[in-house]
Amino acid sequence: MAFYTYIVASKRNGTLYVGSTDSIVKRTGEHREGLRKGFTKKYGVHILVWYEVQETRPAAFRRERQITEWKRVWKLELIEKSNPGWTDLWDGFWTIDGV
């Protein structure tokens, strides 16, 4: 089983949210549909712009906490490095996550 650390955004260079999950399709789908109360719903943060696969749930959570503490510019650099067009990566998971 894979675990994920991810970043969703409201738009390019917009509001960012860092999270971790064992089902990236389900979790980012919840963000997209506004089903999760709180920060992401309030600020319209729903575009999956970056993710990283981890071997364990604790590893995914540790990475989430690490990135959450980073300066904003470091997060933007992380996204730009692997996704310079800020493409919504959510669609690519339909075949990976078993949905």
- Average pLDDT by stretches of 10, the chain with 99 residues: 96 97 92 89 94 97 98 98 94 59
Per-residue model confidence (pLDDT) at position 99: 44
Read out DSSP for 30-81? HHHHT-S-SHHHHHT--EEEEEEEESSHHHHHHHHHHHHHS-HHHHHHHHHH
- pTM equals 0.91
- Residue 24 corresponds to which tokens in the numbers above? 């990236």
d(CA 93, CA 24): 8
